[in-house]
Homo-oligomer: A and B are copies of this chain.
Amino acid sequence: MGIFSKTCEYAVRAVFYIAQSSQEGRKVSIKEIAEKVKSPEPFLGKILQNLSKVGLIQSTKGPHGGFFIDPEGLKKPIADIVLAIDGEQIFTGCGMGLDYCSEKNPCPLHHDFKKVRNQLSSMLKKTSIGQFNLQLIKGSVTLYK
């Protein structure tokens, strides 16, 4: 596994895809998203259901329904996705898994690890969900081959 769980990777890819589609003014179905971001369709359904519950994405049922993200949502940081799926451990947890670890009572890696964590956190917090929409549309970054 990478830094994030597989579930979280699917989530980030899906949200970027929905963001791009919303920019283009269309709603997208689970089926379409799953094909594009190469994730198992029923599992992605569950993930999107959760993201919808916490308000990170919106959806409507029925014909011509699907998922979308409103303009306000596009401004939210991708940290929100990671937090919703993987929890806060990655933003705050000790690198060696020690629950007591702190500035006062540091583990050996505490100070070095803090730098890495901070860089990761600030990157996730300053990067917005809609930030890559134009690059995705023109193809200078991609979500699939």
- Bound together, the chains give a CA A72 to CA B9 distance in angstroms of 39
Q: Give, as a whole number of angstroms, the nearest-CB distance from A115 to chain B.
A: 7
Shortest distance between the CB of A23 and any CB in chain B (Å): 13
Residues of B within 8 A of A113 (CB): 123
Tell whether, in the assembled complex, residue B112 and residue A123 are in contact, meaning their CB atoms are under 8 Å apart: yes
CB distance from A125 to the nearest CB of B (A): 11
Q: Is A67 an interface residue (CB 8 A)?
A: no
Q: Are B3 and A107 in contact (CB under 8 A)?
A: no
A50 at the interface (CB under 8 A from B): no
- Chain B CB within 8 A of A6 CB: yes
Query: Which of A5, A94, A142 neighbours the largest number of chain B CB atoms within 10 Å of its CB?
Result: A142
- B141 near A95: Cβ-Cβ < 8 Å: no
Does A83 touch B at the CB level, under 8 Å?
no
* A45 nearest CB across to chain B (Å): 18
Whether the pair B141, A107 counts as a contact (CB closer than 8 A) is yes
Does chain B have a CB within 8 A of A4? Answer: yes
Is the Cβ of B89 less than 8 Å from the Cβ of A1?
yes
Q: Can you pick out 13 interface pairs between chain A and chain B where the beta carbons lie within 8 Å of each other?
A: A2-B89, A2-B94, A2-B97, A4-B97, A9-B96, A13-B97, A78-B109, A98-B143, A105-B145, A112-B127, A115-B119, A116-B119, A116-B123
**Beyond the given A3-B90, A100-B145, could you list 5 further A-B residue pairs with CB under 8 A, ordered by the A residue number?**
A3-B93, A9-B95, A16-B108, A108-B132, A116-B116
